[in-house]
Structure 1
Amino acid sequence: MEIDELTAAERRMWRAFARGAFVDFRETPDEDAADGACWGPERTVRAEVVRTLLLNGPQQDGEVASLDLAGARVTGFLDLQHATVDHPVRLRHCHFDDAPRLYAARLRELNLSESVLPGLVAHAMRVDGVLRMTRSRFRGPVRLGGVEITGSLYMESAEVAAPDSAEPVLQLNQAALGADLWAPGLRTHGQTRLSGASIAGSVRLSEARLANPGLPAVDAEVLGVEGDVVLRQADVRGWIGLRGARITGRLDLSYARLSHRGDGAALRMSSATVGELWLRRGGPVDGALNLRRAQLEVLFLEPETVPDRVDLNGLTYTTLAPHEPAERRLPMLDRDSDGYVPHAYEQLTAAYRRIGDDHAARLVQLAKQRRHRRTLPWYGRLWGHVQDATVGYGFRPLRAAGWLLSLLATGSVAYALHHPAPLKADEAPPFNPVFYTLDLLLPVISFGQEPAYAPKGWYQALAYALVLTGWILATTVVAGVSRTVNRQ
């Protein structure tokens, strides 16, 4: 391409390229690139000229060539598929008529910040540096599946919307980032796909607005992140999928609003491995919470954020914060969609025991027995009620002592007022109403009173009742003690 074939704007760009000089076509620094379709020829460059410049542009000794434009309108189809570009490419505040195609391209640096584009096709692209799309606006899908970026991907306050597209609007599946995905304030209207991506740094999505109502807003199955994933104050409409994800640091959903009105959970973390999960100060999750088989070191979960339905079967965690009374944690376990999940009660018990709150641990175990009772047939439920009323399933042993003292007092008074007749007057020991009642209540110990006397009428019925009650109390106490010993 000869320089005399170029327009004035293109010649200006061509001459600046060899020196790496910055070319700014903007009339004012705050103009909106969305109005670029109306820009005239004085600031319009053809995509074919840009391609030729990047692949075979002029060089100048002692200078680092680069394409550094601002405020240009790029017309036509910028095709850099499979191309290798050794120069930094900065097309900021620009307006693209057509979506650039960078499939399998290799670039040193790409900066599309504050530009407006119909989309971006850049599958399998490699960037030996950083990719910047800060405050860029895309009116079609951004296809970055399988990209390899040695540095960070910057998309803070960017907007991606593709109302007529059935595919994900932001595709980062199988991407490999050598540093961070830095995108606070990101706005997407459609699905964001991060499944299989590998990120050596952190993912920052604070104050992001990710909307795909009734469908996946973020699909990040088997995502791998060496740092944190931060969605503080984010507004997510649609479900977040993190099945099988591995996040070494913290998954921070503090102050976030999660809403999913369709089928399934709003947050899906089954089989995920996460250092810390923070769900706090954001109000209750609007939708279910699926933590099946997830492995967490720290679960920071405020009771107010727990939705009406949870899936906790197989969830394991080491620390539960903040410290709350058992009465505030137990309602969550009763909301499990699988019904009675013994493992969930054991995990909560272990968390309380690790911090030395044995009282709360006993309350959780008592609640577990009561919840299990609802799954039994009628005779099992009846026996469970007896154990609960007498000794609290072994977790309230003083209750058994209270029953025994009450029955002892009742029997002692009754038999003190009316002594039963001795079976053999000459051989019977002196009658003692207290020890006679103890003989009836205690099935193992004998004071020699009960076999020597034979009550009649109502007093005989009372004796039978005391014997039966004593056996029930003894059985429930032994069962409760055995259960406690087995847990220890």
Structure 2
Amino acid sequence: MLAYAELSEIEQRVWDGFATGAHVDLRPEDARAEDPRDGAEDPCDGAAWGAERTVRAAALHALLTSGTPGALRLTGARITGRLDLADTAVPHALTLTGCHFEQPVMLRGAQLRSTGLVGCRLPGLDGWLLRVDGNLFFEDSVIDGRLTLTRAHITGELRLSGVRLTARELVGTDTPEGPDGPDGPAGRAAALPAGDVWALWAGGLVMEGGLFGRHGLTVRGGLRLVGAQLGGGLFLEGAELHNPCGDALSGEDLSTGTMMLSDGFRAHGPIRLPGATVRSRLSLHGAVLDGGRPTGGDPADLVALDAQRLKAGELRLTPAATPTGAVDLQEAQVTVLHDHARSWPADSRLDGFTYTSIHPDGDAGTLAHRLDWLAALPGYAPQPYEQLAAWYRKIGHDDDARRVLLAKQRRRRHTLGPAGRAWGRLLDATVGYGYRPWQAGLWLLLLTALGTALFSGGGQQSTQSGGGSGTPFNPLVYTLDLLVPIGGFGQRSAWYWTDYRQTVGYLLVAAGWVLTTAAVAGITRALNRN
């Protein structure tokens, strides 16, 4: 460890300021009144800073591990060598602002108090198993390399707002800007490494506060938060994530109170949240979701949002534009769903998706929109229809619920064989699969009128032997006797035909059984609110 006498003049100045907790600013005199984050000086240019602004990482290590009480507050320094605090307990507050690090920072297994690397340039940071008793701030920094916080524990907040974070594999690569940038064909076709490219590797991260990556956060590479526990929430309003060859955000089994991917949030690559738990609100309001480049080049593999088995109190799925790629909510459970006409791409996967209530915006609240929504689902699955019908029944719209269930039966019909489809069409035309029992009444009236007219022409034969008098023939009552399968009016047993009308009578008997049974089933279904 370096002794005080081995330090340069600048390093001794830093050491003296540490002992008193004073702020040491190494910037030129005319720049010290400026906020180091206002862009007046770019820490990325720090490699050209001279000896009057150079501090060795070894000197900072000696200072922070000396056991001397104090606090490090340093601005505008070029830090040479590797700052290695692995497995080190640092009981001091640490704030470095507008500094240029020449080598990645090593904090693996370190124990720190509140730490800020604000407006700095770093070629990566390894904080595997890092413990921070307080906040960890990287606001407005440029991190050209992976930020690793795997299984780290932070009792306060993690702030990434304004950060430019680039995965190590992408450092030095160019992505086109403008119309042919990440949003366009040229950006998607740019030569990028294959496989997983992670800018933030933070699986198993545990936080008691929130993770803030609001307006200005730009990420090239993916954010990996698998199994993370973010007690205070995840806030990425206005952030931009570019990882078209991999996942923009991977949050499998993530647990948090609130997740805000909204207000201009842009993802170029899938958002994956299978098994995630969001106790309050998951908002995608005003977001742009682009699934990026499909795996293997197959458009069927293009996924914008994978939220299978998600559990959320409220899901606000109201993006700025229809997502490019599938939206997968299979087996997800939400209490309140907000959506609008642009929420659902052609490939929306909703089998097993349950919700307690829907709060639609605009035309999304109409039954016609909901039926189109379900009709667009790939393949047939009964659960989405039954779930929507249950919601309509809950709010007292029983007629709408029956129309949804009728649409379900019509969709199911396309999965049947020729005989099943034919029978289904007959049930649909006659009684609307039992959800429109009044249609059976119309058919009964039509057949009654037809039979009455047909049997009024005479030619009937009496079943009485010897031609004795019996029940007088009445064509209306005779027709009703054929159509009503239960009971009888004595006409069918007293009279018969020997011509084609006998065959018509048999057909009316069969039609009566079908229509009456369907009508009874429909009435029973209505009474049971099914």
State the TM bucket, normalised to the shorter chain.
over 0.9
Instruction: State the SS of the aligned residue for 2:203.
Output: coil
- Relative distance call for 1:478 and 1:380 in structure 2 (3 A) is farther
Answer yes or no: is the 8 Å Cα contact 1:201–1:228 preserved in 2: no
The offset of 1:484, in angstroms, is 4.7
1:462 partner amino acid: V
1:141 maps to 2:146? yes
Q: Counterpart in 1 of 2:416?
A: 376
User: CA offset at residue 3 of structure 1?
Assistant: 3.8
Once residues 97 and 442 of structure 2 are traced to their aligned partners in structure 1, the CA distance between those partners, rounded to angstroms, is 81
- Most deviating of 418-427 and 254-263: 418-427
Please give the alpha-carbon distance, in whole angstroms, between the structure 2 residues aligned to 1:408 and 1:164. Answer: 80
CA contact (8 A) 2:104 2:124 kept: yes
Q: 1:269, 1:381 → 2: CA distance?
A: 35
Q: Distance in 2 between matches of 1:485 and 1:372?
A: 24
1:390-429 matches, within 5 Å, as 390-418=430-458, 420-424=460-464, 425-429=467-471
Which one of 487, 490, 493 corresponds to residue 448 of structure 1? 490
Give the length in aligned residue pairs: 482
Give the Å deviation of 1:96.
0.6
* Pairs within 5 Å for 1:217-296: 217-260=248-291, 261-262=293-294, 263=301, 265-296=303-334
The answer for unaligned runs of 5 or more in structure 2 is 35-39, 171-195, 295-300
1:110 aligns with 2:115: yes
Indicate conservation of the 8 Å contact 1:233/1:253, yes or no.
no
Query: Is the 2:337–2:357 Cα contact (8 Å) retained in structure 1?
Result: yes
Task: Find the partner of 1:36 among 42, 46, 54.
Answer: 46
Deviations 1:317-340 (A, max 9, x none): 211222723321233334444x22
Distance 1:408 1:266, change over 3 A: same
The answer on whether the counterparts of 1:98 and 1:118 sit within 8 Å (CA) in structure 2 is: yes
The 5 Å alignment of 1:43-62 reads 43-56=53-66, 58-59=68-69
Deviation by residue 1:338-366 (Cα, 9 ceiling, x = unmatched): x2212222111111111111111111111
Q: Contact 2:261/2:287 (CA < 8 Å) preserved in 1?
A: no
Answering whether residue 229 of structure 2 is matched by residue 198 of structure 1, we say: yes
Contact 2:24/2:73 (<8 A) preserved: yes
Cα distance in 1 for residues equivalent to 2:275 and 2:319: 26
CA distance in 1: counterparts of 2:315 and 2:159, whole angstroms: 24
Shift of 1:310: 2.3
> How far apart, CA to CA, are the structure 2 residues paired with 1:483 and 1:133?
61
Within 2, Cα distance between the matches of 1:179 and 1:305?
31
- 1:357 equivalent to 2:397? Answer yes
Q: Is the 8 A contact 1:244 1:273 kept in 2?
A: yes
5+ unaligned residues in a row in structure 1: which ranges? 60-64
Q: Deviations over 1:440-484 (max 9, x none)?
A: 221223212222222343433433332232222123223434555
- Aligned AA for 2:512? G
Does residue 1:97 correspond to 2:135, yes or no?
no
- Partner deviation per Cα, 1:138-163 (whole Å, 9 max, x = no partner): 11000111111110011112111125
**2:199 match:** 169
Q: Distance in 1 between matches of 2:319 and 2:103?
A: 43
Q: Match of 2:175?
A: none
- Which residue of 2 is the match for residue 437 of structure 1? 479
Q: Work out the CA distance in 2 between the residues paired with 1:379 and 1:167.
A: 53
1:66-98 deviations in Å (ceiling 9; x for gaps): 111111111111111111111111111111110
Question: How many Å apart are 1:21 and its aligned residue?
Answer: 0.8
Asked if structure 2 preserves the Cα contact closer than 8 Å seen for 1:228 and 1:248, the reply is: no
**Take 1:472 and 1:162, find their aligned partners in 2: how far apart are those partners?**
68
Q: 1:482 to 1:373 in 2, by over 3 A?
A: farther
Contact 2:244-2:269 within 8 A present in 1 as well: yes
Tell me which of 305, 313, 320 is aligned to 2:343: 305
Deviations 1:218-259 (CA, angstroms, capped at 9, x unpaired): 111111113344433211111111111111011101111111
Give me the whole-angstrom Cα distance separating, in 2, the residues matched to 1:321 and 1:152.
32
SS in 1 for 2:514: helix
Q: Which amino acid aligns with 1:372?
A: R
Partners of 1:161 and 1:190 within 8 A in 2: yes
Equivalent position SS for 1:129: strand
Secondary structure in structure 1 of the residue aligned to 2:450: helix
Aligned partner of 1:396: which letter? Answer: R
- SS at 2:248's partner residue? strand
Offset of residue 125 of structure 1: 0.9
Q: Is 2:437 aligned against 1:385? A: no
The one-letter code of the counterpart of 1:351 is W
Specify the SS of the correspondent of 1:236.
Answer: strand
**Structure 2 length-normalised TM:** 0.86
Greater mean alpha carbon deviation, residues 252-261 or residues 427-436: 427-436
Q: In 1, are the aligned partners of 2:496 and 2:502 still within 8 Å (CA)? A: yes
* 1:116 aligned partner, one-letter code: R
Residue of structure 2 equivalent to 1:62: none
